[in-house]
Structure 1
Amino acid sequence: MDLRKSLILAIIISSLSLILWECYWRTKPEYYTAYLEDDRNLWSEQRAKVDHLTSDDVILIGASRTGYNFNTHIWEEIQGVKPIHLSANGKPPGPFLEDIVNNTDFNGTIVMGIVPLMVFRSPNHPRSVTARQWVAHYYNRTYAQKLGFALSKPLQRHLVMLSSSELKSYNNLDLKSLINTISFTENRVEDNEFKLVNIGYNDEDRNLIMFPRLTENPFYQKEITDVWNSFLPNLPDYSEDTEKIAFESIDHLHQLIKKFKARGGRLVLVRHKVEAEWYVHSSRAMPREKVWDKFVDIVDCPNYHFEDYEFMSKHTLPEWSHMNAQDAKTYTQDFVNKLIQDKHLTKKIN
């Protein structure tokens, strides 16, 4: 009898604690909202759609700028085709392009966002390795993993305290991330390799949406730009070693793109805007004329660089690197209209 009372009491205390914990985090909507975690499971769910696409369809790949800057709902309103968002926050698109080209028959349009510092680097870089792990997860998912993800969706949709990300953002709410914010020694937190605060969330089509707090508030913006300033000035200048690695990557991409084009596929390359505070360092590390310009000449694909088009450069990026949610809608509309005008996309008439 005493054990039963103890169990009931434990359940009541635990339930109250979780309710209070959830209520507390709901008081901070500028940092947290309930949403499906954009992990390898959600990516795989979208990747599964590729096998059923036609030559009229569109796939978006790239890193976080492609995720934040392109909104698939607006894209569908303009073109009549809803793209599949296979971009991945913090991961280069090369492994995803390789998967699509080598493992599917897709021959529609791929729009690929390019961040030279991320794309033109060693294939053994940790971010590339993680991208390949996402691809491997799609092929190796067990029934238990699929079921677990399906059962987790209702909880993730409604509980803020489950907010998390595979990028290990400093303000994730999962237990491991919270423990990592505790300073057990004087410089425990200071020694964390990357303390980037999560700047947004995603919808279930994997569109990344910037938190409104960043749009107008310099305090929140500085949280992010301080992180960029912690490593951007330390990027090495362009060198022979950089060139060697970059052109090995370009050659690999070129072979994939040739194969994709040979079966009727179309690839559009995009260099999204960054603000001057970011661009001055990335240009020093990988100058446009030595990397991007040579890349687009080699692969011979339609390409759009933000320096060349007013509609791509007119928006101010709150933290130098990504668009806020409203600007992303305008940018997507302008970009799709430009692709239709240039005959790289066809407007679907219902």
Structure 2
Amino acid sequence: MPAAEPVAPRRPTAAEGGGVVGRLSTLDRFLAVWILLAMALGLGLGRLVPGLGDALAVVETGGISLPIAVGLLVMMYPVLAKVRYDRFDAVTGDRRLIVSSLVVNWLVGPAVMFALAWIFLADLPEYRTGLIIVGLARCIAMVVIWNDLACGDREAAAVLVALNSAFQVVAFGLLGWFYLDLLPARLGLGDGEHLDVSLWKIALNVVVFLGVPLLAGYLTRRVGERKLGREAYESGFLPRIGPWALYGLLFTIVTLFALQGRTITSHPLDVARIALPLLVYFAVMWFGSFALGRAVGLPYDRTATLAFTAAGNNFELAIAVAIATFGVTSGQALAGVVGPLIEVPVLVALVHVSLARRRKFDATGR
């Protein structure tokens, strides 16, 4: 259900509900426009206002940008307050979904990005390394927005995001060693690069960007239903906080691009080189995961959730690791910055693709 609409007990199927896009609020219907304007505003502010990027960069703790953290928390809270946590058993019991998600996120995704980085950027080692780092950082934040706009399964998204978070803490450093050191050496592609990753930094990233809004959403749901009842909570309270998810998204985008506006606009040709493999990556991961969901018999809402959780990346973690390891002016950091520049408009477009494909499922949602 789009963030700005009243929340119904269940979402109508394509056969029952007619055109999904036609029922969107003005805010949701023109989301792509608002996002493009937010990106342009952020880039303009970062480029034209002297010292703005440096001032924003100073406001951080533990390697986490506080303005971006605030935006992401505001963005995620309303969506996670909509989740029906009493339905988690139905999600965790869906082995097709859980296994498919683990495979595409932690086996396929990093391997695809590794291959694309070497195919497109074989002559640019710094950008290549930056892209590989982006591929290792699985999405735990913005995906809840894309999934919600595409009418995906909210409960499934919350479970998969939590699962990715747990794997991220454990597997990020190990996969960094495998794809940046061991595999290049074994394939004769060079000596590799040592990735200095702090488990504490990754764990803090997960706690801030998932733990806090998840706990807030869970407590809001429990207290709200106890005091108001489920029907009043979903039809009265949730519509009032729903639009704040998109306000938080737009604030995050403006802040992110204001932080990196000068870097991006100063290297247009390099940005274009980095963008090409990213475009291929998002297309391969989303369409491949969507096809996998249909092949294993998942309904539309869980197929969409699988696709968006597979295609998104944790840009904040990727940028933080690249800066901490290689420096703020490094090519690795620039590759991380270009990630959301491409990811945001592409995944917005894929929301519309997903809604169009939804109509092809029958009245049962399959």
> TM-score, normalising length from structure 2?
0.29
